[in-house]
Amino acid sequence: MWLSGKNFRGRLSRAQLESLLEQRTTALQTLSQQLLKVQDEERRRVARDLHDHTGQTLAALKMAAASLAYKLQHNEDTANVLCDISALADQALKEVRTTSYLLHPPLLDEVGFTAAAQWYVQGFGERSGINVTVDFARLPERLSTEIEITLFRVLQESLSNVHRHSQSSSVGVCFMYHPEAVILEISDRGNGMPAEMLQRLGEGCAEVGVGLAGMRERLDQIDGALEINSTSSGTTLRAIVPLTPVRDTSPRCRNYGTFPPPPISHFEERSASL
């Protein structure tokens, strides 16, 4: 069953619109509180990583420098210490670079979403041990900065959910281009999502978790749609972002099911079997 974050169709009465507005206001307030909590937890995680990893590497580097000074004073061989200092400096640079790239990869600004996404997916596979297959369409031109950042954050959160919750040994990432829209699709072969969570997401509740709610809100801001198809055999998530202006100014009433079939048929066939 495909569940779309924009599955409201038809005309709503004034009472229904007021009720929907009240629900959305409450959901946004809850999401805002959750985002602040997540932001604080993320800062703690970064601080902990810097202290436990980079901090320890720099401490070892300082001790190696002290050892080098001692050996120089006593005219002892310094070759081994110099090798240790070089290795520790390389390790510290790697750790700082990794932390910086995960927060905001410079590739996203320099060469765009496609290159940054493929770099991130490759690193995700190496860090998690999950087998990742990628299929990225070529773009005739770069997307807007807002769309690129949104798609990259959706990709990050989706792969994080696969790693934390799905227990899947493999995941497929597909990026499709149409003149009307771009589609980012992430498919796993894990446990699937509980039916009640899918229902809450379709109702616009923030209680589904800050990750899914955050993806939905990010896509809403650029007139996009979030679709999730989940069974006991796995989950497929789609982020659909229109590239052309949509005539209907009510984002909740748009039907994104009218796009032509994705050109990457073999990926679609594999996803349909999930």
Residue 50 lies inside a defined structural domain of this protein: no
Helices and strands in the chain: count of H runs, count of E runs: 9, 6
Residue 78 lies in a domain: no
* 177 belongs to a structural domain: yes
**Domain assignment present for 239:** yes
The SS3 call for residue 263 is coil
Report the CATH number that the domain containing residue 170 is assigned in CATH. 3.30.565.10
In this structure, is residue 55 part of a structural domain? no
Residue 118 structural domain: 2-11+112-272
pLDDT of residue 92: 86
How many C-beta atoms lie closer than 10 Å to residue 161's C-beta?
20
Report the number of distinct structural domains present in the chain.
1
Q: What is the pLDDT of residue 117?
A: 93
What's the token pair of residue 17? 């619109």
- Kindly state whether residue 250 falls inside one of the protein's structural domains: yes
Does residue 19 sit within a domain? no
Taking CA 160 as the corner, what is the angle to CA 56 and CA 270, rounded to the nearest 5 degrees? 140
Q: Is residue 147 part of a domain?
A: yes
The pLDDT averaged over each successive group of 10 residues in the chain (274 residues) is 49 77 73 65 74 83 88 88 90 82 80 91 90 93 92 92 88 94 94 74 55 82 90 90 63 36 36 35
State the amino acid at position 20 in one-letter form.
Answer: L
DSSP, residue by residue, 112-168: -HHHHHHHHHHHHHHHH--EEEEEEPPPSSPPPHHHHHHHHHHHHHHHHHIIIII--
